[in-house]
Amino acid sequence: MVWSPHRPWWERYQPVSYKLISRSGSEQEFADMVERCNKVGVRIFVDAVINHMTGDSGIGVGIADSTFNTYEQSYPAVPYSIHDFNSKEKCGTQSGNIENYNNVNEVRNCRLVSLLDLDQSKSWVKDRIRDYLNHLIRLGVAGFRVDASKHMWPDELKAIVESLNDLPETHFGAGQRAFVFTEVIDMGGEPITKYEYTGIGRVTEFLYGMKLGEVFRRWNNQKLEYLQFFGESWGMLPSGYAWTFVDNHDNQRKHGGGGDMVLTFWEPRVYKMANAFMLAWPYGYTKVMSSYYWYPREDTDVGPPADSYGNTNTVPINDDGSCGGNWACEHRWRQIRNMVAFRNLVHGTAVENWWGRGDQIAFSRGRKGFLAINNDYSQTMSGEFYTGLPEGFYCDCISGDMLGSGDNAYCTGQTLSVNSMGRTHINIRSDSENPMIAIHVDYKL
Ligand code: LM2
Ligand code: CA
């Protein structure tokens, strides 16, 4: 446990054992959550910290009461001993820490910010990690986000992933494998690239959120209309390998890559626009961030809402479906939640009817969905647009929800009328709270 600063969020990135006991609860509670989620079609992916153990802080104890001693490099609860870590000789730097990101050996065999670096070439280490991940698989998780993948050799990581058990047949059907996302921060300009990891699973595409932030902020003369070919031609991974997100838990608080460019919930209006675009756009495997508010905003250490000891609070849900207790829950914001449904619905269709004028864009996805965004600061976006959708009345899923069903269906937001030519009239003011419109065939009234 880290007490200075007081139970920071990043304490989780310093494992002491592989016991499933954390500030969020017990193994029993975790297993119960996974089980309940699987029942309603929600898959759980675990953030697996397997590159390292704690920082070199001396003697300490983890949240599950396991001890560690970094002078001896011992973690008896796993157990790991000095033989399981990369030595200073193997690393090659004076400090034993990563000093030069242009040296591939150093990035993978030295300590990242002083975190004791596991040697995944050792079969003992590989096996302990495999057992840990298999334990989670047995509990019903669907896959893993592999933390600090850039700091592990791709072939060693691949061997671990390939040694894992199939997912339980009871929950996933026969022969299904864990879905793996590797975290590799590659902004270009370093010898280690994201392309080295595409053989393992989906790879984080950090350029995506950075570029999207730049475009929606209109920095460096960027305009929304330039998004027409947003994807591989922007220096990003082929779509089938990319794991995309507007922001993540690191760069939303200026850790990791992306800096001031990425958009976060602190700027909700433009954040919703960027998420809507991401979810409507057929590139990559998308992730929606879900956060908590922290204060002061410049403090990059503040942990989640918790009791005075540091146990994470449960999330209260308000009558309107939003979260209370300082949880931001972006995934519950109507504009984002409804665009997730949009994405699932239009899956497999292409972008059609692209229209772009400066910071105003519109496009349809096959004959199933249509999105229009006005990021101009002064001009209303108005006119007849071709939506590609069948004739009828549609509920805009940005300004409202479609409730009820059949003849009793009604829209809590604005309704759009698509004529027999597939055209609809649009009027999006530049000062609108949500300067977007999204319609799709599941929201046909
Ligand atoms: C990641 N990706 O590769 C995570 O996304 C990122 O959140 C993790 O860093 C990092 N790898 C290691 O798992 C976070 C946080 C760091 C924090 C570490 C370890 O961004 O600031 O480092 O977790 O908890 C902290 C201190 C740092 C100190 C270190 C070790 O900020 O100053 O280094 O602990 O004591 C002396
Ligand atoms: Ca390493």
Determine the residue of 51, 97, 113 to mutate for testing ligand 1's pocket, defined as the one with the most ligand atoms within 8 A of the Cβ atom. Answer: 113
Q: Tell me how far the alpha carbon of residue 14 lies from the centroid of ligand 2, in angstroms.
A: 14
ipTM: 0.94
| The two structure tokens encoding residue 104 | 């591939």
**Closest residue (by CA) to atom 17 of ligand 1?**
10
Of ligand 1's atoms, which has the minimum distance to the CA of residue 51? 13
For residue 210, how many other CB atoms are within 10 A of its CB? 21
Of ligand 1's atoms, which has the minimum distance to the CA of residue 112? 12
pTM for the model stands at: 0.97
**Closest residue (by CA) to atom 20 of ligand 1?**
255
Please report the pLDDT score of residue 412 as a whole number.
Answer: 98
Beta bridge partners of 355: 362
Q: Tell me how far the alpha carbon of residue 183 lies from the centroid of ligand 2, in angstroms.
A: 13
Q: Tell me how far the alpha carbon of residue 11 lies from the centroid of ligand 1, in angstroms.
A: 8
Dist CA 89 CA 72 (whole Å): 16
Report the topology of domain 350-443.
Immunoglobulin-like (2.60.40)
Tokens 């958009």 belong to 263
218 burial (CB, 10 Å; 0-12 / 13-18 / 19+) is: middle
Which residues 6+ apart lie within 8 Å of 254 measured at CB? 260, 300
Dist CA 75 CA 81 (whole Å): 6
Nearest alpha-carbon partner for 416 in 377, 386, 374: 386
Residues of the chain with CATH 3.20.20.80: 9-345
Note if the bond before 76 is cis, omega within 30 degrees.
Answer: no
Give the type of residue at 6: H
Nearest alpha-carbon partner for 255 in 217, 290, 302, 212: 302
CB contact at 8 A, 283 and 344: no
| The two structure tokens encoding residue 92 | 């090659």
Enumerate the H helices of 151-205 as residue ranges: 154-162, 169-172
Q: Tell me how far the alpha carbon of residue 120 lies from the centroid of ligand 2, in angstroms.
A: 8
**Closest residue (by CA) to atom 26 of ligand 1?**
113
Active-site residue numbers? 147, 183
The answer regarding whether domain 9-345 maps to CATH 3.20.20.80 reads yes
**Side-by-side strand order, sheet with 360-365:** 351-357, 360-365, 369-374, 436-440
Nearest alpha-carbon partner for 355 in 284, 437, 252: 437
130-169 tens-digit pLDDT: 999 999 999 999 999 999 999 999 999 999 999 999 999 9
Q: Tell me how far the alpha carbon of residue 54 lies from the centroid of ligand 1, in angstroms.
A: 9
Determine the residue of 255, 299, 301, 302 to mutate for testing ligand 1's pocket, defined as the one with the most ligand atoms within 8 A of the Cβ atom. Answer: 255
Please report the pLDDT score of residue 260 as a whole number.
Answer: 85
Please report the pLDDT score of residue 256 as a whole number.
Answer: 81
Of ligand 1's atoms, which has the minimum distance to the CA of residue 113? 33
**Closest residue (by CA) to atom 1 of ligand 1?**
148
Taking the CA of residue 95 as centre, how many other CA atoms within 13 Å lie in the half-sphere pointing to its CB? 11
Dist CA 143 CA 429 (whole Å): 43
Tokens 């809402």 belong to 305
**Closest residue (by CA) to atom 11 of ligand 1?**
148
List pocket residues of ligand 1, CB cut-off 6 Å.
Answer: 10, 13-14, 49, 55, 57, 112-115, 147-148, 183, 250, 255-256
Q: Tell me how far the alpha carbon of residue 73 lies from the centroid of ligand 2, in angstroms.
A: 15
178-222 tens-digit pLDDT: 999 999 999 999 999 999 999 999 999 999 999 999 999 999 999
Of ligand 1's atoms, which has the minimum distance to the CA of residue 185? 3
Please report the pLDDT score of residue 258 as a whole number.
Answer: 74
Dist CA 429 CA 424 (whole Å): 16
**Closest residue (by CA) to atom 30 of ligand 1?**
55
Please report the pLDDT score of residue 13 as a whole number.
Answer: 98
Which residues in the chain show pLDDT less than 50? none
Of ligand 1's atoms, which has the minimum distance to the CA of residue 56? 35
Residues of the chain with CATH 2.60.40.1180: 350-443
Return contacts of 37-40, CB within 8 angstroms, 24+ apart: 38/140, 38/171
Q: Per 3-state DSSP, what percentage of the chain is helix, strand, and coil (rounded to 5)?
A: 30, 20, 50
As a whole-number percent, the residues of the chain with pLDDT over 70 amount to 100
Beta bridge partners of 403: 410
